[in-house]
Structure 1
């Protein structure tokens, strides 16, 4: 009887989605390292999700995406987990707002002085300006921003013009790279990367820390294209050869072919089929 009464109390204690994910992982006998291997998400980010410490993650979109990937790894409904995470984010944002305390109009002693009022106004203006600058410089896209970027990128895709004449020496440069040359992605600073299927849907994603390298599996090279929102933070090499930036700085870039020949063509300025990505500039905020 004691055990039966204890179960509901344990269930009531699970008030956060992170607790639910952690219990599912423990019930499956999996460690955080196991989940990191399955999802390609760093253990520190997974631990932050379990503890519901969302401020430790790069941005709102990452919180939802990482939680859905975690849910798939432990056989929980990812759509439901995504909805719960968004609700918790909204609750945390609302709970962080300062409570308003009204002054008693009949008590002059509690009314702020004119100097204090102007000081508060100046401080508020400074904080608003600082926040505006931070939002303008921030490149972490949320869900609505990513959707807008995708629409802009799709709208900017136009029928390709006549291919330019082949430059002398280009064929020689491509021949120097084997068709199965390794494609390696290196984070210059922390950068988010995704792999899109033929329909443009992002099937896999991960975060590279500064200095971290990731060799793209041969199956990914054939089946997926690359996307990233911080091209200047990502270094791409083919057979040890640096191909340069995959797009303009602070721009959502997608549809980047991972085939060695296409990447070499990008480096040599040859618009080979499948090598030209769609890019959408990040809106000023």
Structure 2
């Protein structure tokens, strides 16, 4: 008779711990520890420690409470009640006497970002930065970059006294040039040319490829002057006649008048050269 009376008491004691209640509820729901681990993203080792009320196996007091609440939610038990029961058991076991190393109160462990998600966000951020860099590089106009580089190199190599270039002899008598004679610029090699206004500001520019010709518009002749950083790469003809070099090689020249008479006067003796000789000039040395 005594045995019959003690059996229920032992059964009641067996389920007085919160871990036992969680285990029994899990088994009643037909779930395994692996099922609960998949739902909560908590390792089976920690879930098993909670069921055994072996809290020393868990990393810290706040983790015990958080894991137990997540466990309860996974098997449809009131998580607030389970959390309160766990805290009481921790106090009874004097678990709080252990040094607490956790630096913050974690939220639901199931909601913490995984390592895979973190690395994915890092990779996406790097891709966005790389794409922005490529966009910035491609958004720069190639011609503008070329102009900036050539202008900078030309300004650095410009002689202190640009006006020291050889003074052109006047045009020979008997070879007058018409005021409206066409002025044609031809690229001997790739060369950048610019047209400056009265204040010296380059308003119009272009690059001539080898052999490419450009007839200067009449409006440009009256309003602008010529500049280039590679004089030897540019052939200037007025009315079909080569006026010769317009400045020292590899030196920035600017303020070159585009008026036919001024170009012929600048070229001096070159204005009297025959047409066959002038047409052969672009081919020499290139």
TM tier relative to shorter chain: 0.3 to 0.5
The structure where helix makes up a greater share of residues is 2
State the TM-score, normalized to the length of structure 1: 0.41
Give me the TM-score of the superposition, normalised by structure 2: 0.41
